[in-house]
Structure 1
Amino acid sequence: MKKVVLLMAVVMAAGSLQAQNTIAMVGKDKKEIRKERHEKRVALRALEGKEVSFQSKEKFAFDFGDVQDVQWARSGYYDEATFTNQDGRKTTAYYDITSQLVGTTSPRQFSDLPMSAQKYIKKHYQNYEGAPVLMFDDNEANDTDMLLYGTQFDDEDMYFIEVQDGVKTDVLRVEMDGAVSLFKELK
């Protein structure tokens, strides 16, 4: 009987250790996840030529379906498709050098920002009303970096808002959890 009880105690202890290890793995904080993504991310490579690639157009049709009002442009790093999405919102999709979707941007309203971010911005910036807000929706399946406002950043869903502070304009980065940070100062 003592052997059975001892065996059960050993099995329960082993199970408890396994559960703790699983919880620790699931509980990775944002910094660790970002660090792992940063190590895996793909550096930007410039596109050659001025013509949008046929592959990007084909991939767009696969990703978004039969969209009628698409306007294509080639920037330094992306083939860009601007169109009206199903919600009636003007959207731009960005395709990298391998014609894979990096993510999309669409204009938003100040009221779309997380409430904690709205409170922070109202407290620290006077000229936030009517400020342009842009939402970046990352394609998690592609590790290619995104470039907005001339600055490269880690891919993840987030908002950008241009606020004026006196003479200068600051672009703030607003994460989905409401964290606000300075992304770039514009002249």
Structure 2
Amino acid sequence: MKKLAVLSMTAMFALAFVQLSAQDVKKEIKTEIKTEKKDIKVEKKAIKTEREELHKLEGNVVSEQTKTAFYADFGKVPNVKWKRAVYLDEAVFTKDGKEMKAYYDFYSKLVGTTMLKTFADLPIKSQKEIKAKYKDYKFGTVVFFDDNEANDSDMYFYNTQFSDADNYFVELSKDTKKIVVQVNAEGEVFLFKEL
């Protein structure tokens, strides 16, 4: 009987030790994953800082090369409205029932697209932060910028150049003051510009 009790106790201690070891391994794996995610974010930021300046576009007519690139990117889209801005060519169009804008750089490469969204489309974390930090402001237009990761050109939005990445831009107003806040993919909120 004593041998059976000793064997049972030994087995229980061995099982507890194995469970503790497994928990330690899980913690180590989670720590490694978090570290790798942080390293990736740092690498992305480093890549973004190496981006080149935007080149001004000459003239006021959108190039045929840009139009050709647009149709290669989006297919045969009817009723496209074109505009040449200072740094980017813009195409306004409707695809899958959604009105969008596509932006092309000096080299006729897609920088990204924008589309209107609602405040409810923002990450919950950023909704709460905006409501708390800007509680006296009225919510206005919400625009989502979808970056073309294959192009390193920066984006020019609200007459301001920024390092392109997927972001929301929310217009807020209070009395005569109007601002735009930027919400990144992690839901962090930044003052982007005072209008």
Residue equivalent to 1:89: 98
Q: TM-score, normalised by structure 2?
A: 0.78
What is the 5 A alignment of 1:94-173? 94-125=103-134, 126-129=136-139, 131-173=140-182
Shift of 1:166: 3.6
Instruction: From 84, 87, 96, give the equivalent of 1:77.
Output: 87
State, as a whole percentage, how many aligned pairs show the same letter: 47
Aligned position for 2:19: none
What does the per-residue CA deviation read over 1:9-57, in whole Å, with 9 as the maximum and x for residues that have no partner? Answer: xxxxxxxxxx9xx976664153442122211x12100010111100100
Uncovered stretches (5+) of structure 2, i.e. residues with no partner? 1-28
Count of aligned positions: 163
Q: Counterparts of 2:184 and 2:138 in 1: how far apart (Å)?
A: 17
Q: Which has the higher helix share?
A: 2
The CA RMSD over aligned residues, in Å, is 1.8
Q: CA deviation at 1:127?
A: 2.8
Instruction: Give deviations 1:59-92, integer Å, cap 9, x for gaps.
Output: 0000000001211111111111100121x12101
How far apart, CA to CA, are the structure 1 residues paired with 2:41 and 2:177? 31
Aligned equivalents of 2:37, 2:183: Cα separation in 1:
24
Indicate the SS of the match to 2:83: strand
CA displacement at 1:150 relative to structure 2? 0.9
Change (3 A) 1:31 1:164: farther
Aligned to 1:47: 57
